[in-house]
Structure 1
Amino acid sequence: MTPSYNKVHNRFKLNGIHFSFEDLKEVAYSFIKEGELFEQEIGAFLSDWIDHNDFILVKTSGSTGEPKTITLQKQAMVNSAIATGDFFKLVPGDSALLCLPATYIAGKMMLVRAIVLGLEIESVEPTTNPVFNTEKQYDFCAMIPAQAEKAMQKLNNIKTLIVGGAQVSSRLKEQFQKVTTNVYETYGMTETITHIAVKQINGKATSYFTTLPNIVISQNIKECLVIDAPQLTVGQIITNDVVKFHSKTTFEWLGRVDNVINSGGVKLFPEQIEAKLQSKMGSRFFISSEADPTFGEVAIMIIEADTDTLNPNVFSDLNAIETPKQVYAISAFAETTSGKVNRTETLKSLKK
């Protein structure tokens, strides 16, 4: 029998205390009135979760377009929590760490998983370098890559870590090989209620994502991923992500179709070039394109710096067509509301 969104598992605990569904109203009020900013955000979500509506409003991060507010069904969020629990074999009484803000879907879903699956969740301030109890072992946690990198020395206290919200660099993947934590990169978006697929990036690492239960994937004519997730959303979700299938349930992410560079008939995926360069760059950067009379388009690099001077060895792992033909420096990148690089707006400032 599938749990309902208006029920709380009898093993659920928040910061060491069990609360019933009715208790959450008082907890939410207390957090909102007396808590720190991150606790106020938790309180606001809990208040939304227990109200009379069967849906909540969620802000998207704006990483793939303009930030917007969308409606998610609470029962669909419950279904997402169950799928995650099944995949990672989470059981009632397992411990979880919440170090993401409850303003976005990733933080909200950590709370929903705890409420639905009966996890004992501990909340800490969602800083870039989260401070948590290193005398304690946590069964499950979600972080963005920047947090995982800062917390690397403490990750052995976490049994299973999911990392999402931004691409995981090759340098960070190398660091993950040194920890005992089972680390998974996630694929998903707010519209799919966080991840619909994951891949392990240390230990038994793979190059492709595996879908969670009850997810059906296909491709459209542009080779972009199409997601059918009837328990999460109504209708298909057509993404802008170009993928390569390995089976009916596994795929390799190649890059965003709107970022693809057609250089002399060869498709270049900026994200793949960036992965090769990540360990050699000391500042933020991204790969884009500009018009070229011979090749149609060529790759260029934009760096967040005061000078465009780079060591030529930076490009030693790239072939001739991948190598940026120009490097442009911008003192400060434009960012989305969630702190990610806004490529479109940054490029606009380059053209001014």
Structure 2
Amino acid sequence: MIYINDESYPIEFAKEAKLCPHIALKYGKDSFIYKTAQFIEEFYNNKSYVEVLTSGSTGKPKSIRAEKQRMLASASMTVSFLRLKEKNTVLLCMPLEHIAGKMVIVRALYQNLKIITQKPSANPFATAPQNLDFAAITPMQAYCALEDEHSRKIMASCRKIIIGGGFIDKNLYEKLITLPCEIYHSYGMTETLSHIALKRISKEKYEFKPLPGVTVNLSARGTLVIDAPKICSQLLETNDIAEITDNGFIIKGRIDNVINSGGIKLIPEEIEEKLSLVIKTPIAVTARKSSKFGEEAILISEQELNETLLNKAYQNLNKYEKPKAVIINKIPLTATNKINRAQLKALFFKI
């Protein structure tokens, strides 16, 4: 059976393309539940793949083909890791153009979970029911939910939550560890059909732990190499600078974001993490040309930062990491609310 919003439908409805007409009569063709039905019908059609848009974090979003059997294999690994049971409730609140939203549905179909749809928004818990079993959200959605008392209670009542699609800063991390539910930060990408590793968010800072059937190593460049034969047909070398640990791995930043300043390699993500211990408003670190250093790090902030705050934040940096300038500007984001590094650098590199 297919379970959507407390209603059940025979799988044959989707296989015979009857699900969408049935839901359209009740909810209309513009509803998010109708889009959910469209994807379910697509997943059960005679094609062996579905089209998925990449996030656009490393360039313009592009469409790739995701094999359905590999999506089911990915779903199996997550369901096993999180110990999700048949008829558990799962919140679907992610856009269905990208892999994260599609995989919520595939996990539900694989394990006969009950899908609870919420139109994607900054705060999906505002109107979501209590006592959900599972939810997949972004850091922005987690932040917005925790800012509202009612939404925080709903979020706290959810048994298991995975947060993916972006960096979790120190301020958000500290708020998340106060919740009673199991919360995990996920690591993955469109090419790995959502996440291949999860990190438990707790007072103890654990590393990312690969899902069953996934192994990782480092390339000669120091970037993460993923071996996940059930979901990727070949080894996948990422652009993420990583450190392998006894139980998993730690991500430090992306090699294509590294700033080579006078021969010193600076990782913007690491600098941002250190600065966010003090600065709680949106910031990003990027590069601009420098006649002395070749390129140098600069800090982009969406709000004015006073000198006292900056000096306090800079105490967390070494002498090479300190930005050479602070520029007030809107920070460009991708469709999945990650910092658009390429666009950001293009804005300021020639300044």
TM-score, reference length from structure 2: 0.89
With over 3 angstroms needed to count, the CA separation of the structure-2 counterparts of 1:299 and 1:216, relative to structure 1, is same
2:149 paired residue number: none
Q: State the distance in 1 between where 2:23 and 2:173 align.
A: 36
5+ residue gaps in structure 1? 1-9
Q: Which residue of 11, 23, 37 corresponds with 1:21? A: 11
Closer, same or farther: CA 35–132 of 1 in aligned 2, 3 Å: farther
CA shift digits 1:132-186 (9 cap, x unpaired): 5666311111000111112221321111110001111111000012110111100
CA deviations on 1:289-348 (whole Å, 9 max, x unpaired) are: 33445555432112235x676543332322222111111222x33332334332222332
Alignment of 1:235-254 (within 5 A): 235-247=234-246, 250-254=248-252
**What is the CA-CA distance between 1:51 and the residue it aligns to?**
1.3
Structure 1 counterpart of 2:99, from 83, 105, 108: 105
| CA offsets 1:215-240 (integer angstroms, 9 cap, x no match) | 12111110111112111121121110
124-133 vs 158-167, which moves further? 124-133
1:96–1:132 CA distance, 2 compared to 1 (3 A): farther
Q: CA deviation at 1:282?
A: 5.0
Match 2:84 to one of 87, 90, 98? 90
Does the 8 Å contact 2:171/2:280 carry over to 1?
no
The two structures, once aligned, show a CA RMSD in angstroms of 2.2
Residues 132 and 115 of structure 1, relative CA distance in 2, 3 Å threshold: farther
Residues 262-277 of structure 1: pairs in structure 2 closer than 5 A:
262-277=260-275
What per-residue deviation string (whole Å, max 9, x for no partner) do you get for residues 267-293 of structure 1? 321101101222533542211233445
Quickly say closer, same or farther: Cα 1:272–1:80, change in 2 above 3 A. Answer: same
Does the 8 Å CA contact 2:297/2:324 hold for their aligned counterparts?
Answer: yes
Q: Tell me if 1:119 matches 2:113.
A: yes
CA distance in 2, matches of 1:322, 1:294: 16
Q: CA deviation at 1:111?
A: 0.8
Cα distance 1:66–1:135, how it changes in 2: closer, same or farther (>3 A)? Answer: closer
Q: Which residue in 2 is equivalent to 1:7?
A: none
**1:282 and 1:156 mapped to 2: Cα distance?**
23
8 A Cα contact 2:260 2:294, kept in partner = yes
Of all paired residues, the percent bearing the same amino acid is 33
- Please, which moves more after superposition, 342-351 or 29-38? 29-38
Q: Distance in 2 between matches of 1:192 and 1:119?
A: 22
State the 1:35 CA deviation: 4.1
Task: Name the counterpart of 1:229.
Answer: 228
Cα distance in 1 for partners of 2:127, 2:302 equals: 35
Q: Quickly say closer, same or farther: Cα 1:317–1:31, change in 2 above 3 A.
A: farther
Using the alignment, how far apart are the partners of 2:29 and 2:118 within structure 1? Answer: 12
SS of equivalent to 1:158: coil
Secondary structure (helix, strand or coil) at the match of 1:226 reads strand
* C-alpha deviation, 1:31, in angstroms: 4.5
User: Could you say which residue in structure 1 is the equivalent of 2:319?
Assistant: 320
In the superposition, the TM-score normalised over structure 1's length comes to 0.88
Q: What one-letter code is carried by the residue in structure 2 that aligns with 1:102? A: L
Instruction: Kindly provide the CA deviation profile for residues 18-44 of structure 1, in whole angstroms up to 9, marking residues without a partner as x.
Output: 222212332233446714442343133
Hey, what's the Cα distance between the residues in 2 that align with 1:237 and 1:142?
A: 24
